[in-house]
Amino acid sequence: MGEGYSYTCKICNHKYWVTTGVGMMYPMVYQDTLNAIAKGKYGSKLKELFNSTPYAAIDAANTVYICGECCSWELARNLTLYAPNNPDDIPQKQYGIKTVAEWGHVPYVMPWNLEEEYHIVKRHYHHCSKCGKRMHKASSTELVNLPCPKCGSANHADGTIDWD
Nearest to 109 by CA among 36, 62, 148, 57: 57
Mind listing the pLDDT tens digit for each residue in 60-77?
A: 999 999 999 998 999 999
pLDDT of residue 164: 61
**Alpha carbons 18 and 158: distance in angstroms, whole number:** 12
pLDDT of residue 152: 87
Mind listing the pLDDT tens digit for each residue in 25-47?
A: 899 999 999 999 999 999 999 99
Q: What is the mean pLDDT of the chain?
A: 93
Mind listing the pLDDT tens digit for each residue in 129-141?
A: 999 999 999 998 9
- The pLDDT-based confidence of 160 (bands split at 50, 70, 90) is confident
The DSSP letter of residue 64 is E
**From 47-56, 89-98, 153-162, the region with the lowest mean pLDDT:** 153-162
pLDDT at 82 over 90: yes
- Strand blocks (E) in the chain: 2-8, 15-21, 57-58, 62-67, 73-77, 81-84, 94-95, 98-99, 118-122, 135-137, 159-163
